[in-house]
Amino acid sequence: MNFARSVWKILVAIKDGLVLALLLLFFWALYAVLTMRPVPGMVRDGALYVTLDGPVVEEKARLDPTALLLSQQAPRHEVQTRDLARAIETAAEDARIKAVVLDLDGFGGGSQVAMERIGAAMDKARAAKKPVLVRAMLYTDDAALLAAHASEAWVDPVGGLILTGPGGTQLYYKTLLDKLQVTAHVFKVGTYKSAVEPFIRSDASPEARENLQGLLGALWAEWQANVKRARPRADIAAITSDPVRWLAASGGDAAQAAVKSGLVDRIGDKVAFGRRVAQLVGADPAGPDGAFRSTSLAAYLADRPAPGAGKAIAVVTVAGDIVDGKAGPGVAGGDRIADLIDGAVSSGDYSALVVRVDSPGGSVPAAERIRAAIDRARARKLPVVVSMGSLAASGGYWVSTPAERIFAEPSTITGSIGVFAVIPTFEGALGKLGVTTDGVRTTPLSGQPDVLGGLNPQFAAVTQNEVDNIYARFIGLVGKARGKTPEQVDAIAQGRVWDGGTARQIGLVDQFGGIEDALAYAAKRAGAQQWHAVWLGAGNDTFGSLLEQIMGSSVDQGEGQGSAHDIAGLVAGRQQALASRLLADLDRLGSGAGAQVYCAECAGLAAPARTTPAAGRSLLQTLVLRLLG
């Protein structure tokens, strides 16, 4: 008994110590937030210095402390497109800012639409006689598009440039599922709805290949046109047609080849680059060699908040996968977004509503929740405009249908009007292990869907009927919104994905333009001579702000995160992305998500993939991981 009491006292002491440590950590975090948050007045004469050590996104994800702890990974430092573009455009007219500097060493990429928007902001700064300088170790497609709009683009002496164009590897799981004795039951409508193909084929169908070739060809042509407008002398063909010969012409020196291509201007390491910026804006005497006077993005945005005069126009963002519930920001929780829209309408505080869509779609009920809320706003005579970002496909188009006008960019990916459902069953795998099933049923649907014993024909027919009806509703909504018959919509639907330029030609989009154009149109419809946008649901994330400040400090001091940014690092990063895609696909197969209006084939084309740590693994994931050892 004495031994047991001693052990108990030790456990209690450990518990009390942990509680005390957590309390100290909490108060330290609170103090850090209060003292580290940028405040107005922190702007210095010098450069607007933006360290893009992560991806550029439409909407920043809210960090979950528990998930972050379980993931054992540092969070990505996300930057919102609108924040960066507004900061650069504001700096163009700010006498305190002498130059704009973008450090792309740890750049995590961004959608083509986002890069074009930031590039346009860089052009405005240059037109105002403000130098715009960028530097990187390795320029890939996204970074190269930004470099094209810079007045000076620098590359590290051991760095270079690599252009791959859109496209790449798609994973197919049929052989794996056959080996695991897992049956994937697919229910779909849409000849081109290729989201289910990885589970029933070992390669792309001719229809899917044709669709993606047309889409990717249009996006690549638009990318090249944008770069050529910014840098007419850039030799893109030499880089992409025969990269080995292109490198050999510079003796294998990738940095020299990058300069000769016309997309990069100068070679130099970070110190040399800093000295050049210091010549333009002034050196920072308190910093090391190459330090220059600068203001961070967060401090500058805090000092120059968005205008707030005139009528208020509500902006609601539908970004990421559309899911059931209140998830987000960064994920489009149907209930959360519908509540935002209903609240904005009922408040009477807003003269118009702009819905910014950047989503590949997802859950049918969640998409319908959002669409119905937008429809209710229209019924209240509120002007409603949709602004499509990089991606508004499948469920992303579903939620767009009630708008009185749809704006998109030529590089927007949209369409994918189709429906599918996938249900895996494990009767083969269990039978191989000697597990059988039996039971008593009172109706043909008792116990269905039976993922252990298999689906019966009656349940399969009912499920396909549901998918057919959802598709009929989908094309009916599109037809009503676009003034087309169901037959006319069906001819351009069937799951086919379109670029924004083609979508406008076939009537799925009304007008080219970005979020600013959509806001201006909504303000005109509301009769507002003076107006300002209010972004709903984008409240402060205290925990995320703290981490950003800590991460930002380490980057500014040159500590970084130890990741490589050369070609080998690029390969490693893409291998990790493929592994994440594998788990995400398997999770989609085994999650029991129901009918989906989702464009899986285009989700990875528009923006860097987000990975969310899962609390546990599905049965299918467990089987695969066991098979892989």
Active-site residue list:
193, 394
- Residue 80, SS3? strand
Pairwise CA distance, residues 517 & 523, whole Å:
10
**In sequence order, which residues have a C-beta less than 8 Å from that of residue 459 and are 6 or more positions away?**
444, 445, 448, 449
Pairwise CA distance, residues 417 & 276, whole Å:
51
Pairwise CA distance, residues 148 & 119, whole Å:
8
Q: DSSP states of 24-74 as a string?
A: HHHHHHHHHHHHHS--TT---SEEEEEE--S-EESSPPPP-HHHHHHHTSP
Residue 378 main-chain phi, psi, to 5 deg: -60, -40
**In sequence order, which residues have a C-beta less than 8 Å from that of residue 528 and are 6 or more positions away?**
310, 311, 313, 351, 352
Long-range contacts of 339-343 (CB under 8 A, 24+ apart): 339/373, 340/316, 340/536, 340/537, 341/316, 341/370, 341/373, 341/374, 341/376, 341/377, 342/373, 342/376, 343/536
> Exposed, middle or buried: residue 127 (CB in 10 Å: 0-12, 13-18, 19+)?
exposed
- Residue 315, SS3? strand
Residues facing 264 on adjacent strands: none
Tell me: cis bond preceding 65? Omega within 30 of 0 counts: no
Helix (H) or strand (E) holding 358: strand 352-359
Pairwise CA distance, residues 86 & 612, whole Å:
29
Pairwise CA distance, residues 250 & 242, whole Å:
13
Tell me the angle at which helices 81-92 and 112-127 cross, rounded to the nearest 10 degrees: 10
First to last CA, the chain: 45
Residue 57 in tokens: 């996104």
**In sequence order, which residues have a C-beta less than 8 Å from that of residue 434 and are 6 or more positions away?**
none
Helix (H) or strand (E) holding 408: strand 405-408
Q: DSSP states of 333-351 as a string?
A: EHHHHHHHHHHHHHH---S
Judge contact between 234 and 246, C-beta under 8 A: no
